[in-house]
Amino acid sequence: MDVSPYFLLGGGPIALERYRSMSVLGRLRRVMIKAVLSGGIGDAVDAGARYRWGVGLRLTLHDPHDVIGSTLPEEIHDAFASAGVALPPAEERSLHDRDVALEPVYAAARGRIRARAGDAQVSAGWAMSGPFGEAGDGGSSGEAPAGLDDPRHLLWLAAQYTTGARYVIANLQHRDTFGDDARVWIGAGVLRKGGKMDVRGGVTFDAVSGKVHPSASVSGRLGTHVGVLLNVSNRSLGRDLDAPGRFAADLQARWFYASDRLR
């Protein structure tokens, strides 16, 4: 599950000029507004554990593809003015069903954003996870073989360079940051964004063990609020550097309470 801490804690609309401010305070404000807090539970790869829990925080430090920083807000204002319809109050989150043709405006904005080249998005984050539930007990015991009282931390930094519809991605991970098995992973990949589907492929290099972990994923939308993700990757089993990896496939169904797609 992904949530926005800004809105979860009661943050509301702010003036466009304040959001676009390039001052230090303005930049920090944008980072906080776009921060994403995530949490989830899934199957564990740790020996003796059935499930694995995790939480994480993502911060977008620089985003040249931010549509609010483009001319889209002014174009929406002009569309309402041309239709002779007053703009709704800032407290209202939806602009639809107001007899204003916004779809062409959104389509043009999508095309401009996807066509941009030579820009780099920079993001960073932190994650924490651990196993729980002994394998074979159905997870009913809730006992933690190694995780709830000894979680693993991860710090990461990523850059995404745009070459039109393709994105070149590089990332740096510091795994088990506060543990005895701290290691550095370096990754690179390519993301191809399409109108209905995004395709990603890449490799990650473990600087400690010398192993290379390939991965590939396909994601898309089935509707405004529903999406799917198929990911295939070579995973490392637990903390043992000498343990063999394994290929695994994940299929996820996603529901977006607040759709991030321009409609």
Question: Which amino acid appears at position 142 of this protein?
Answer: G
Q: Is residue 164 part of a domain?
A: yes
Give yes or no for a contact between 215 and 231, defined as CB atoms under 8 angstroms apart. Answer: yes
**Residue 23 within a domain:** no
Write out the residue range of the structural domain in which residue 113 sits: 39-255
Residue 140, C-beta contacts closer than 8 angstroms, at least 6 positions apart: 133
Does 7 fall in a domain? no
Helices 103-115 and 72-83 sit at what angle, rounded to 10 degrees?
A: 160
Domain annotation covers residue 95: yes
Residue 231 lies in a domain: yes
Q: What is the pLDDT of residues 118-170, one digit of tens each?
A: 788 999 999 998 887 766 554 444 454 455 667 889 999 999 998 866 789 99
Mean pLDDT of the chain: 82
Reported as a pLDDT band with limits 50, 70 and 90, residue 236 is low
What total of structural domains would you count in the chain? 1
Residue 32 lies in a domain: no
Q: How far is CA 244 from the centre of its chain?
A: 28
pLDDT digits (tens, 9 = 90+) for 68-99: 888 888 999 999 999 898 888 877 777 777 88
In a domain, 123, yes or no: yes
Confidence of residue 256 (pLDDT cuts 50, 70, 90): confident
Helical residues (DSSP H) of 85-200, grouped into ranges: 103-115
